[in-house]
Amino acid sequence: MRKMSDTIARLTALRAQQNVHAPTLGSSNRLSTLTGFGSNPGALQARFYLPEALPENAPLVVVLHGCTQNAAAYDHGSGWTKLADQAGFAVLFPEQQRANNPNLCFNWFVPADTNRDGGEALSIRQMIETLIAAHGLDRERLFVTGLSAGGAMASVMLATYPEVFAGGAIIAGLAYGTANTIPEAFDRMRGHGGPSEPELQRLVSIASPHKGPWPRISIWQGSADQTVAASNAEAIAGQWRGVHRLGKTPTRSETVDGHTRRTWIDASGNALVETYTIPGMGHGTPLRTAGEHGLGVAGPFMLDVGISSTRRIAEFWGIAEPRASAPAKPRQPRRRDAQLPASPHRFALADDARVTARTAPLRDPAPSTPAADEKGVRKIIEDALRAAGLMQ
């Protein structure tokens, strides 16, 4: 482990570099604010987006921004809400606060924030459950992705709540459990030390009581990344290959949009793990901003390298197709500025709560007066949180 003085020096240098490149929102904010989503032990904010014609029982994608970013800036660059309009899914953006981390990084290396039913991990889980309950989203099609510290936090969510997610995507991130302190975090980012592959696999197996099936995983990494070493992508792949009981040799290797994609496929023909290596790319989210399938806007940590990770990830999960076979039945349009009804109290959390794998399907209340509608929606949310062990 490196000396604390060396760690502090590197923290200072990184903060200075990040402050130079910190993105601005401009007029690109398409997100609404989610309130009243639980005890929120991680003290996070929550933003969300619902397309105007959201299909019944729509998927949900959870998107975690990188350091120095916020939800709206990451969405503007990555294009997730624009793809949501095209493909018909909801998007949730947990958002870090400076009081928790001065550089707006999710605390992926702090045990209090990365264990099941605690800290930032539980706050994100509560956001997910609240949005599902309020809008009748599909519990079988929940996904999480993130960049850098957000990618590492996506690893946390996939490991600690694997029964919740059908898939995940980690961009320039790190494996779950690879670091528990700031010095360890910097060493792992640079590719120094860390648990062995069998130990990484063991850490996932004990992070929750879940025994399978496991989420499918997409991993993205630039070969010239000077912030998070490319060896971390191999560690993530090894961690999840072990969980899925896949061998080290990929089933298939191919070129997609000029970049190398490796895929591990099980005996039933299901693609369970994929990795994309982007030659010459530094630290950031791979974009393709031009052409028919272009998404997002290039900028700091948003890198136009001719491939849209946003679109390719959604296709890997099975929630976006180049051409839809038939239009989905739309819901009633919702106002973009709509928020969840205010709760008369903060949701209380049981210390020994455990999230159940599935809860009963939820239905919208019958229309009546506005006051009755608000009470009905609130009751649905509270009942769902209780059923999931997230509210007393």
Q: What are phi and psi of 261, to 5 degrees?
A: -120, 130
Q: Contact, 155 vs 107, CB < 8 A? A: no
The helix (H) or strand (E) run that includes residue 317 is helix 309-317
First-residue to last-residue Cα distance in the chain: 42
As a whole number of angstroms, the distance between CA 31 and CA 26 comes to: 13
How many other C-beta atoms can be found within 10 angstroms of the C-beta atom of residue 258?
10
Per-residue HEC secondary structure of 339-385 comes to CCCCCCCCCCCCCCCCCCCCCCCCCCCCCCCHHHHHHHHHHHHHHHH
Q: What are phi and psi of 184, to 5 degrees?
A: -65, -40
Is 309 catalytic? The answer is no
* Selected catalytic residue, list 39, 148, 155, 308: 148
For strands 45-49 and 60-64, give the pairing.
unpaired
DSSP 196-236: -HHHHHHHHHTSSS--S---EEEEEEETT-SSS-THHHHHH
How many other C-beta atoms can be found within 10 angstroms of the C-beta atom of residue 111?
12
DSSP 26-54: TT----EE----S--TT--EEEEE--TTP
Q: C-alpha angle 389/368/359, rounded to 5°?
A: 20
The catalytic residue positions are 148
